[in-house]
Amino acid sequence: MAGDEGYLLDNRQGQAGTRFEALGELFDPSTFRHLAARGLGPGWRCWGVGAGGRSVPDWLADQVGAGGLVVASDIDTSWLQGGANHADHPDQLRIVRHDVGADPSPAAGLDLVHARLVLTHVPRRDDALRSMISALRPGGWLVVEEADPGLQPLLCPDEYGPAQQLANRLRHGFRTLMADRAADLAYGRTLPRRLRELGLREVGADAFFPITAPACTALEIATVEQIRDRLIDGGIATAAEVDQHLGNLAAGRVPDLATSPMITTWGRRE
* pLDDT score of 83 more than 60: no
Provide, rounded to the nearest whole percent, the portion of the chain with pLDDT above 90: 84
Q: What is the pLDDT of residues 123-135, one digit of tens each?
A: 899 999 999 999 9
Q: How would you classify residue 48: left for phi > 0, otherwise alpha for psi between -120 and 50, otherwise beta?
A: beta
Q: What does the DSSP assignment read for the chain?
A: --STTS-SS-TTSTHHHHHHHHHHHHHHHHHHHHHHHTT--TT-EEEEET--SSHHHHHHHHHH-TT-EEEEEES--GGGS--HHHHH-TTTEEEEE--TTTSPPS--SEEEEEEES-GGG-TTHHHHHHHHHHTEEEEEEEEEEEE-GGGS--S-SS--SHHHHHHHHHHHHHHHHHHHTT--TTHHHHHHHHHHHTT-EEEEEEEE--BS-HHHHHHHHHHHHHHHHHHHHTTSS-HHHHHHHHHHHHTTSS---B---EEEEEEE--
* pLDDT score of 20 more than 80: yes
| 89 band by pLDDT with thresholds 50, 70 and 90 | low
What mean pLDDT do residues 206-230 have? 95
* pLDDT score of 86 more than 50: no
Domains of the chain: 15-149+182-212+260-268 (3.40.50.150)
Of residues 39 and 6, which shows the higher confidence score?
A: 39
- Please report the pLDDT score of residue 91 as a whole number: 74
Chain mean pLDDT for the chain: 92
* pLDDT score of 5 more than 60: no
Q: Poorest-confidence range of 83-87, 145-149, 224-228?
A: 83-87
* pLDDT score of 2 more than 60: no
d(CA 25, CA 227): 22
